[in-house]
Amino acid sequence: MSSQIDMRHDCFDPVEDPYAQSRVVHLLNSTLLLIVAAAIADADGPEKIECFGHEKLDWLMNLADFSAGIPSHDTITRVLSLIKPSVSLVCRLCSRTKAR
């Protein structure tokens, strides 16, 4: 079994971004990818997710659009508050991935 994880941001396409696209700096799909990747790497809060993003920016840029850089922990907090009902799904995904 490969230790590589297929982290494609298109799996987040069904998630609708409630913000007006003209005001968006960081794409929702990219931010969700960052959150999931950081959670798999044991980042346990918005500040640690942001730090993970800065440390892994080159890798993340191969997976999604981070041309505006890594979202701030405040932006990450807002995104997490929008997807609260889905957090349990993310946690299950992370625990399954770690179990491998």
Q: What is the DSSP letter of 19?
A: S
79 within domain boundaries: yes
The runs of H, that is alpha helices, within the chain are 28-40, 46-55, 57-61, 73-82, 87-99
pLDDT (tens, 9 = 90+) of the chain, 100 residues, equals 444 445 555 555 545 555 555 566 788 888 989 998 999 999 989 999 999 999 999 999 999 899 999 999 999 998 888 776 555 566 666 655 555 5
Looking at the structure of the chain, the number of domains it has is 1
Question: Domain range spanning residue 40?
Answer: 27-99
CA distance 69 to 22: 17
* Within a domain: 14: no
Q: CB of 97 within 8 A of CB of 40?
A: yes
Per-residue pLDDT, 3: 44
70 within a domain of the structure (yes/no):
yes
Candidates 45, 68, 49, 69; CA nearest to 57 is 69
* CA separation for the pair 45, 80 (Å, rounded): 10
Q: What is the model's pLDDT at position 98?
A: 55
Asked whether residue 83 is assigned to any structural domain, the reply reads: yes
pLDDT of residue 4: 47
In this structure, is residue 92 part of a structural domain?
yes
Q: Is 66 within the bounds of a domain?
A: yes
Residue 17 lies in a domain: no
